[in-house]
């Protein structure tokens, strides 16, 4: 008998077609984000779920869906999944690393540049019809080339951003991470390890690429922002909640730092109202990995994982492979 799976959000037709060759697929053509109650109802009788970062798989959901064997996240970040609870219940969890690294790094770099060079603010000014003359100090920002690039979190995406800064823009690169990189990896991206305080003090452009966890919650708050230079910028392409958005809004309002570029927010898709009213912040709706090629690669990898997990194959990117070993 064919297994039943839920594809919790609207995905590419090619991906649904591939899944339908193996499973009875229930999709979500409306692309509505299900409440927990709806998600539990949809998962009844399902052996697998293709989810995104918007669907939360926690202990309560798992307890209510005993037939679930695999949850395949179309995202590299997996703070929406209670991994320990999955493992305890023998549910395989997977994510989509690597395929989005370069695309996300491109976006992180672009957002940092847009922030430093005040692109959103000046574009809005022009569209409002306020541009009446060229001025010496109109929208003057800060340079990228030669400035100190400070990276918090030096995983794959952090290294890809460091490489861009080091090789493309001649930026001195410093980083802080839970564990230090091997010397050859540091040399490859021209990065020097420093303490978190030093990182914040020396940063011209701080880029945050940490995974979200209880440990990284509010890693950047009022105390950390107070260490930064008034000319510095902050860019977050990691996860909402790593930065205390209220404290950031206050620092931006008081010009304790120059500007911020944010692709992720605490409690998104809601955005802290103070951020919305500030001119010196560039805001984008969690789109760092959003190119056609990369989103298709992410969806295909999530589908590969789901197919392998439920047909006795080897899922390419498991998060809790011990579950497979125990099967």
Among 289, 294, 305, 317, contact with ligand DGY (rule: CB under 6 A): 289
Using the structure block, give the residue that is written with the tokens 């672009």: 110
User: Among the residues of 21-154, which ranges form H helices?
Assistant: 36-43, 59-64, 83-88, 101-116, 119-127
Residue 176 a catalytic site member: no
Establish if 315 lies at the interface with ligand DGY (CB under 6 A).
Answer: no
What x/- string results for residues 195 through 234 when contact with ligand DGY is judged by CB under 6 A?
----------------------------------------
Shortest Cβ distance from residue 242 to ligand DGY (Å)? 12
Q: Could you give the count of Cα atoms lying within 13 Å of 322 in the half-sphere of its Cβ?
A: 7
* Part in contact with ligand DGY (CB under 6 A); list of ranges 10-18, 72-80, 136-144, 265-273: 72-80
Q: Which helix (H) or strand (E) holds 70?
A: strand 70-73
Written in H, E and C, the secondary structure of 261-284 is: EECCCCCCCCCCHHHHCCCCEEEC
Name the residue nearer to ligand DGY (CB basis): 47 or 208.
208
Q: How far is the CB of 240 from ligand DGY (least distance, A)?
A: 10
* 1-60 binders of ligand DGY (CB under 6 A): 53
209-to-65, 151, 242, 263 alpha-carbon distances in Å: 33, 7, 9, 11
Alpha-carbon distance of 111 to 131, in angstroms, equals 24
The residue from 75, 151, 260, 306 that contacts ligand DGY (CB under 6 A) is 75
Task: Give φ, ψ of 116 to 5 degrees.
Answer: -65, -35
Q: Which stretch binds ligand DGY (CB under 6 A): 13-21, 41-49, 75-83, 217-225?
A: 75-83
Point out the catalytic residue in the list 176, 239, 272, 295. 239
Nearer to ligand DGY by C-beta: 75 or 154? Answer: 75
Contact 94, 305 (CB under 8 A): yes
Which residues of this chain interact with ligand DGY, rule CB under 6 A? Answer: 53, 75-77, 100, 289
User: Would you please indicate which residues are annotated as catalytic (active-site) residues?
Assistant: 239, 268, 286
């Amino acid at each position: 008998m064919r297994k039943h799976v839920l594809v919790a959000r609207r995905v590419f037709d090619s991906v649904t077609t591939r899944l339908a060759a193996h499973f009875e697929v229930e999709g979500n053509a409306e692309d509505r984000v299900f409440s927990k109650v709806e998600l539990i109802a949809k998962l009844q009788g399902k052996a697998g779920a293709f989810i995104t970062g918007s669907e939360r798989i926690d202990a309560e959901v798992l307890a209510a869906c005993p037939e679930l064997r695999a949850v395949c996240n179309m995202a590299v970040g997996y703070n929406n999944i209670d991994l320990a609870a999955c493992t305890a219940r023998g549910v395989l969890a997977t994510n989509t690393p690597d395929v989005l690294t370069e695309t996300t790094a491109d976006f992180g770099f672009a957002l940092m540049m847009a922030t430093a060079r005040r692109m959103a603010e000046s574009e809005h000014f022009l569209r409002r019809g306020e541009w009446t003359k060229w001025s010496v100090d109109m929208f003057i920002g800060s340079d990228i080339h030669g400035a100190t690039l400070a990276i918090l979190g030096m995983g794959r995406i952090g290294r890809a951003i460091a490489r861009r800064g080091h090789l493309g823009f001649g930026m001195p690169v410093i980083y802080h991470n839970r564990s230090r990189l091997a010397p050859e990896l540091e040399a490859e991206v021209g990065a020097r390890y420093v303490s978190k305080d030093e990182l914040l003090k020396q940063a011209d452009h701080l880029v945050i690429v940490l995974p979200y966890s209880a440990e990284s919650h509010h890693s950047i708050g009022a105390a950390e922002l107070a260490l930064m230079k008034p000319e510095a910028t902050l860019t977050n392409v990691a996860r909402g909640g790593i930065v205390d958005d209220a404290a950031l809004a206050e620092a931006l309002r008081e010009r304790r730092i120059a500007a911020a570029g944010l692709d992720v927010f605490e409690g998104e898709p809601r955005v802290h109202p103070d951020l919305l009213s500030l001119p010196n912040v560039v805001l984008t709706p969690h789109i760092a990995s959003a190119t056609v090629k990369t989103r298709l690669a992410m969806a295909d990898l999530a589908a590969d994982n789901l197919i392998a997990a439920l047909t006795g194959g080897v899922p390419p990117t498991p998060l809790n492979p011990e579950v497979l070993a125990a099967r």
